[in-house]
Chain A
């Protein structure tokens, strides 16, 4: 049972001629709360649907808790998945929806669900719930499975700040209770920043950045100084982004040592800025587009 909660190897998914996800290799450590970040249509939902066994990979493989979710769908009993928009049966009442979860899951935990749904009336129809209440119900059902991994696809979309906070509270309580690994896909970095200790950044169907949030923030710096031809800077292993305004240069760099050059003002970087820098297509650490075109024949 030491298999990583989620392990993708060269995973790719193509819809007709478009690759939604390509050459995605990543391992999510046990117990992590992972923010799956990236712009719209970056492949976040595709990755989660592949992990939930809803899609079949076009290439590569994905293992959830060490098992292939398509070939061994029994693993889904231990996976909590909330799809985008928290789809539930609108004609069911809250109580009936919970009953459905109880009847279709062997690992069901009534107490967790009761705790999560304490505020709601069981007789209310799901169709009459607000988006926030529905998201809470969907999360409660996912937690009721006592999942070992919880996959949430854009859970905060359409929630007002108050509902978002309630959702987070329920999520954190549930995670404390079940010690599940969590993957939250969101295009809003602020949402991710609030809870996640790991980041996987997807853009254009490829993994751009992955790692522990603290380590990432610690290993990146912003350098500001007069504009000049750039040579190697001591303590900088890679320049992620360069920006110039007038005679001022602002660099976002990956550093492996203390930057001592006094002509640079060194500052810490915020998560949002770091992710945006890695997302920005104009200045990528690796020349991906050329490689993708060449690989297309193998599809």
Chain B
């Protein structure tokens, strides 16, 4: 089956490799000015955990200078979806659409073994290329990770072991969608929808609670802030710790103005503060492993479902 898989999917695997090669070229090309700026003495003396006077401006300048590139790199979060759309979805849909499954599934290899071998081999190719892409991104982002952390989604989603896990999940969703829709374009669309919505649900509702968030309070500037914490919520609370509604805030400002006091110093004087809950930067790898495990488990479950279903698939 290895030969068959390679012959049928080599163009897709080559395209995947070409994409990573392009990414590598872009990464290396853009990395030069970043490294030059990063290794300048003024910045290298300001790297955490050292904190000197005047470092803030240097660090902010460095981050601001390359902000556009960092934002652009976040777009790489869509790459795993492409694996599902262009490799996973057509895997079965094309066969069923063209009727070639009647040829493929009546050879000496049972269709379950056929699907299992193909999916496994393509999964290996997917993991290899996406791990490479992830490593490239981690290398490129390492200055920003040092200064700004990587547990917040802008770094987390395109670094580490979650990237291959996302790609595997997309591949599995594509395969199952192809089996259920039996046509390539609907299967591709369904793959995109399922992939994006699952990612968003996990990001918004599950990932913040992988481990219990930490809490701290701050008055004006958040002095407790460690570079790279993932801030989950930042609420205004009164001295007793109760959250303050927008109405109450307006009322307090009004009171202060009527009394002729500066509203902002008034709020501080009555003990209002910010309650911040966050995931500390140090939990990056724990979170990576949890999220990657979740998506890999989903991928395996989906592939097993497809293998179970394919035997009963009318053809």
Contacts and interface: CB of A to CB of B under 8 A. Distances in A.
Contacts of A56: 312, 314
B108 A52 contact: no
Contacts of A106: 108
B284 interface: no
Contact of A104 (B108, B112, B311, B314): B108
Interface stretch (A26-34, A78-86, A112-120, A272-280): A78-86
Contact of A99 (B3, B99, B108): B3
B98 A87 contact: yes
B185 to A, nearest CB: 19
B8 interface: yes
A52 B315 CA distance: 11
Contact of B106 (A70, A81, A107): A81
Contact of B105 (A54, A88, A96, A103): A54
B102 interface: yes
B251 interface: no
Given A55-B314, A96-B7, A104-B1, A83 B99 contact: yes
Given A49-B315, A73-B110, A92-B7, 18 more contacts: A54-B101, A54-B315, A55-B314, A74-B110, A76-B105, A76-B106, A81-B102, A85-B99, A87-B99, A89-B8, A89-B103, A90-B98, A100-B4, A100-B7, A101-B107, A104-B1, A104-B107, A145-B107
A52 B106 contact: yes
Given A55-B314, A56-B314, A87-B98, A138 B103 contact: yes
Contacts of A70: 311
A284 interface: no
5 contacts: A56-B312, A81-B102, A89-B8, A100-B3, A104-B1
B3 A103 contact: yes
Interface residues of A, number: 33
B98 A76 contact: no
Contact of A87 (B3, B102, B311): B102
Contacts of A248: none
A53 interface: yes
Given A49-B315, A104-B1, A105-B107, A54 B102 contact: yes
Interface of A is mostly: loop
B109 interface: yes
Nearest to A55: B314
Interface in B1-31: 1, 3-4, 7-8
Contact of A76 (B1, B7, B101, B110): B110
B110 A88 contact: no
Nearest to B3: A103
A265 to B, nearest CB: 49
A232 B267 CA distance: 114
A209 interface: no
A145 B103 CA distance: 13
Contacts of A103: 1, 3-4
B100 interface: yes
Nearest to A91: B8
B207 interface: no
A87 B100 contact: yes
Nearest to B107: A104
Among A52, A74, A104, A107, the one with the most B-chain Cβ atoms within 10 Å of its Cβ is: A104
A49 B114 CA distance: 18
Contacts of B1: 103-104
B74 interface: no
Contacts of B98: 87, 90
A81 B8 CA distance: 21
A15 B100 CA distance: 21
Interface string A177-221: 000000000000000000000000000000000000000000000
A159 interface: no
Nearest to A52: B106
Contacts of A83: 99, 102-103, 106
A99 B5 CA distance: 12
A271 interface: no
A77 interface: yes
Nearest to B314: A55
Given A55-B315, A99-B3, A107 B100 contact: no
A88 B109 contact: no
B315 A104 contact: no
Which 3 residue pairs are nearest across A and B when measured between Cβ atoms? Answer: A105-B108, A83-B102, A77-B108
Interface string B93-131: 000001111111111111110100000000000000000
Contacts of A55: 314-315
